[in-house]
């Protein structure tokens, strides 16, 4: 979204606020000015200071016309018009999934952000209705902008598919999951279902490939793997985009069965690759 805004509007200057040293690849055009604001904000208390003090000062100093936050965090103290993106509010419905410190911050401040914003964007009609209903704001204040997928995701030929399967699944066809190892993604139940299937069909060479990392350090990273199917379940951790696209295109089946999802970008990535999909029917998934 931000890349295209920069490229489509060369007549405007875009100020990119960072809280630490940044990757120059994020500067998408000559009309982008990078500004590092202190302190580094990776804790709820520092979030509050960064947005309400550091960002407020910078918006005033640089005479910004509007503040756009792709993560939904806003400055409650600035008078500059603000637009926030709230992807979903899972933390309101499944608080057990979120570490307590982060949960307190999210549940206290996101209702305030939603009311403070001059306008909100979200990624599905489901999330639009959920945000409006939960935070008691008008749906007219929220615009849906559905997620897309990188053009890197494309079908691949048989030779490439064979090589990817050799690299990641011992040459066998595989069921693929892509996403954070977070309770709402339902990875534990997916592993249980796969293990039950393999118990019924032990001769089937099918493997289960899980791509992703735990969402919160120290929490939710461990999932129980039945001993009888452990050798047929492979965790890759994080994969770079180019490699992820190959893994998606080579999959026998992509499965995505979270119990709460604001959109589900991997579904669109699988569609771009022409990979068959087994998806859940919860929250936004039927819409996608």
CATH number at residue 135: 3.40.50.2000
Which one of 106, 121, 144 terminates a domain? 144
Count of domains forming the chain? 2
pLDDT at site 32: 98
The counts of H helices and E strands in the chain are 10, 11
The pair phi, psi for residue 90, each rounded to 5°, is: -55, -35
My answer on whether 169 and 267 are in the same domain is yes
Which one of 84, 115, 144 terminates a domain? 144
Could you give the residue ranges of the DSSP H alpha helices within 117-240?
125-135, 158-169, 187-200
My answer on whether 197 and 94 are in the same domain is no
Residue 77, domain member (yes or no): yes
My answer on whether 135 and 201 are in the same domain is no
Could you give the residue ranges of the DSSP H alpha helices within 153-279?
158-169, 187-200, 241-250, 265-273
pLDDT at site 222: 54
My answer on whether 216 and 177 are in the same domain is yes
Dist. CA 73–CA 146, nearest whole Å: 19
Residue 103, domain member (yes or no): yes
Residue 15, domain member (yes or no): no
Residue 150, domain member (yes or no): no
Question: Which structural domain range is residue 206 located in?
Answer: 158-279
My answer on whether 162 and 275 are in the same domain is yes
pLDDT at site 224: 76
My answer on whether 172 and 232 are in the same domain is yes
CB count within 10 Å of CB 186 equals 22
My answer on whether 112 and 208 are in the same domain is no
My answer on whether 106 and 213 are in the same domain is no
Residue 8, domain member (yes or no): no
pLDDT digit string (tens) for the chain, length 288 residues: 899 999 999 999 999 999 999 999 999 999 999 999 999 998 888 999 999 999 999 999 999 999 999 999 999 999 999 999 999 999 999 999 899 999 999 999 999 999 999 999 999 999 999 999 999 999 999 999 999 999 999 999 999 999 999 999 999 999 999 998 888 999 999 999 999 999 999 999 999 999 998 654 444 445 678 888 889 999 999 999 999 999 999 999 999 999 999 999 999 999 999 999 999 999 999 999
pLDDT at site 134: 98
Do the Cβ atoms of 104 and 48 come closer than 8 Å? no
Q: Which residues pair with 57 in a beta bridge?
A: none
> What three-state secondary structure class fits 250?
helix
My answer on whether 49 and 125 are in the same domain is yes
Residue 131, domain member (yes or no): yes
My answer on whether 75 and 176 are in the same domain is no
Residue 11, domain member (yes or no): no
Residue 197, domain member (yes or no): yes
My answer on whether 97 and 165 are in the same domain is no
My answer on whether 136 and 175 are in the same domain is no
């Amino acid at each position: 979204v931000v890349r295209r805004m920069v490229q489509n509007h060369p007549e405007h200057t875009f100020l990119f606020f960072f809280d630490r040293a940044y990757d120059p690849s994020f500067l998408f055009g000559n009309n982008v000015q990078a500004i590092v604001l202190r302190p580094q904000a990776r804790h709820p208390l520092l979030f509050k200071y960064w947005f309400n003090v550091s960002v407020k000062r910078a918006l005033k100093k640089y005479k910004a016309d509007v503040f756009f936050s792709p993560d939904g965090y806003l400055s409650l103290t600035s008078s500059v018009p603000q637009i926030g993106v709230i992807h979903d509010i899972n933390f309101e419905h499944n608080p057990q999934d979120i570490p307590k410190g982060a949960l307190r911050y999210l549940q206290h401040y996101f209702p305030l952000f939603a009311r403070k914003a001059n306008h909100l964007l979200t990624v599905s009609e489901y999330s639009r209705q959920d945000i409006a209903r939960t935070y008691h704001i008008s749906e007219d204040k929220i615009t849906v902008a559905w997620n897309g997928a990188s053009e890197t995701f494309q079908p691949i030929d048989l030779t490439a598919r064979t090589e990817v399967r050799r690299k990641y699944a011992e040459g066998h066809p595989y069921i693929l999951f892509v996403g954070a190892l977070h309770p709402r993604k339902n990875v534990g139940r997916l592993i249980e279902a796969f293990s039950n299937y393999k118990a019924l069909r032990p001769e089937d060479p099918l493997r289960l490939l899980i791509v992703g990392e735990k969402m919160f350090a120290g929490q939710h990273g461990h999932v129980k793997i039945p001993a009888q199917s452990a050798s047929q379940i492979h965790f890759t951790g994080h994969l770079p985009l180019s490699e992820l696209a190959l893994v998606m295109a080579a999959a026998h089946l992509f499965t995505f069965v979270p119990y709460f999802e604001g959109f589900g970008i991997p579904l669109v990535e699988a569609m771009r690759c022409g990979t068959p999909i087994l998806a859940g029917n919860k929250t936004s998934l039927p819409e996608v």
